[in-house]
Structure 1
């Protein structure tokens, strides 16, 4: 496929950007759903991190009776082993790679870029990050799973074999079962990825304590003073 640039919401720092967080939303949402989180992170006023919240393309979603909505890939069923349409996952991977390349062209190296995502967006961020050929600053996987369910992606990147992964999930998630997140975490640990796993008393959402933990992790990964 030819990678058409994604529409997005971009939040620029007060200083010239030297790092970037690319944050993918969940099914049926848009970049506007997560962009308000930036001020809630409470990062230092003079940080130099650009935040990009792209909008997924609109497409029919099988699980929702073919209703057209923003989606990073088609969801075929609730069965974790048959949930993610891999053709769509691979197409979204290309789109995310294009976003990374855009930032590289603006002077931000991949080693200063974090891929983040919630739910479906977390699936794509984790899949893309684990396979990305250049070193990334980190991967943030919120309330999500691996598209291959009980297997890591093929063609794992040696460059990101020791990249820090933040994996957060709700204890009461009724959309992406906690067991799905735990399965991904087990596979990552078995391959010795430096993954931080934490759960929160929430459903398929974001918890205030989680936001504080995300902020601390970002500060450490991007060396924010």
Structure 2
């Protein structure tokens, strides 16, 4: 990561952690306001961790340098993927999870979440993690290197609840890509909670409310 993660604790001595990866061109600050809209008080103290992606040239944007978890080469996100970049960022997210464990948060009290590129990283990392996590959240994103998931997923997270949400008018990550992700995970036996909304590539308050309920369930 180019910069250390942003951290917010709802109260001292957190007993659970929600790790949230931002999208392309944003940074860890992007989802701080969303965390402020969540009410997880009945869960107890929660630490939100917002990692910052490294700054790198992004091919589809003319090589312009920006925060990115991996390169995007062509508009069809699933057609030509930056597997090396994806795996580097997977290792980065794993290091953030390890850091939370080292601070006393058990794996089954950790949720990995993300938006757009961050969603790809949450799904890629969460399904492969070697200890059971509390939940995996994917917002407005898709499953990267999907063909490798069946072979590389870890049995520890086969029963981990997955929250997927997407806008039907999304021009960045097409709705169809999200549906393919839902279907792929369902075919592998994952318990997917699916939500769709009348919105583009963004977050809406109905989605935040649905996410709040999901987090209360998996961390409660």
- Look up the match of 2:118: 121
Q: Which structure shows the bigger proportion of residues in helix conformation?
A: 2
- Look up the match of 1:145: 142
- Segment of structure 1 superposing worse, 4-13 or 193-202: 4-13
Structure 1 gap ranges (5+): none
TM-score for both structures, normalised by structure 2 = 0.95
Runs (4+) of structure 1 moved beyond 4 Å? none
- Look up the match of 1:54: 51
- Does residue 35 of the first structure (1) align with residue 32 of the second (2)? yes
66 and 153 in structure 1: CA distance in 2 versus 1, 3 angstrom threshold:
farther
Query: Deviation at 1:151?
Result: 6.2
- Look up the match of 1:89: 86
CA distance in 1, matches of 2:35, 2:181: 27
CA distance in 2, matches of 1:177, 1:48: 36
CA distance in 2, matches of 1:184, 1:5: 29
- Look up the match of 1:181: 178
CA distance in 1, matches of 2:39, 2:195: 20
Secondary structure, in 3 states, of the residue corresponding to 2:89? helix
6 and 91 in structure 1: CA distance in 2 versus 1, 3 angstrom threshold:
farther
CA distance in 2, matches of 1:58, 1:153: 31
Q: How many residues align?
A: 220
Query: Deviation at 1:83?
Result: 4.3
Mapped contact 1:112–1:137 kept (Cα < 8 A): yes
Query: Deviation at 1:193?
Result: 0.3
Mapped contact 1:6–1:95 kept (Cα < 8 A): no
Mapped contact 1:172–1:202 kept (Cα < 8 A): yes
